[in-house]
Structure 1
Amino acid sequence: MTQRKPNTQQAMQQLISTIEQQIPLNIAEAAICLGKCCGCPKKMLEMLDSELSYWRSAVPDITPGFADLKQLEKLARRTHRLFCKNGLITA
């Protein structure tokens, strides 16, 4: 029996869930801005949180396209990489 591929709405929900597990979205601002900063993890987190909020509310009504999935994934990867670089999370 073959496994069916998820539609884009299901894929977006899975992507959101994975991002929420991998990136601490509720980290305190004081913890983000401690010490030396490479890039601005605070701004990246704000952008990512904004996109996630949009897609959480939009997915039931809007069918995301592959470009939407790719854009959110790219933003999440950049945020994750920046958090790792700044020592906020480990890879």
Structure 2
Amino acid sequence: ALSGLPVQRISTEVVRHVYQRTRGKITIIGVGGVFSADDAYEKITSGANLIELITSMIFEGPQVVGEINRGLVELLKKDGFSSIEAAVGSRNPLL
């Protein structure tokens, strides 16, 4: 199976597409190439409600989860969001 960085861009595009097609009415899990808070935030702001990761845990260890969470807090603050829910789809406005 193919996972990790090779699928990062395409998996984010799938999140964007599904978010648009469903008008944000279903739970979307962003997966594929999540190695940092920036990667997770890109999927969230594209429309993902949840993030799944495994490859980064294999290569970087379980502490990567805490690092991503701390980074997400900073990114949310920087963009003026009080929660992840508020950031979902914020860079993928529904047409």
Choose 1 or 2 for highest CA Rg: 1
TM (norm. structure 2) is 0.30
Between Structure 1 and Structure 2, the one with more helix by share is 1
Between Structure 1 and Structure 2, the one with more strand by share is 2
Q: Whose RCO is larger (CA < 8 A, sep 6+)?
A: 1
